[in-house]
Structure 1
Amino acid sequence: MEEPSDTTPNPSNETTREVCEHCGEVLDPMEWTTLEDEPGYESALHFCDEECLDAWGASA
């Protein structure tokens, strides 16, 4: 059996990337902050850090 090369597409590669709700920067899963502890907000909202979260909250 032949080993796949590094350039073989991986259709089952399920990496999730989200975008910061405030500034639009693409985030990796280990980087984002969510609102899951805040009542009334979905955990589906993602932010770069606490600063973006606070700025988004102030403008909302």
Structure 2
Amino acid sequence: MHCPVCHEQMKIKRKDVSYNRARPTTYDRTLYHCANCDSWIKTEVPLKEILIQPDLQQPAS
């Protein structure tokens, strides 16, 4: 991501996952920092939960 102030490339300082209880949603959160002008940007992108069904085994007869 480029800095909106000086247009230099920003470095990722932290990546983690956040959760919103008001809307039960999980977010991929990234914190960017520009060392040139000391600007910070935080983005939170909703994660789509993928439901994976486990393989069901039939009982032996």
The TM tier, using the shorter chain, reads: under 0.3
Higher helix share: 1
Higher strand share: 2
With normalisation by structure 1, the TM-score equals: 0.24
With normalisation by structure 2, the TM-score equals: 0.24
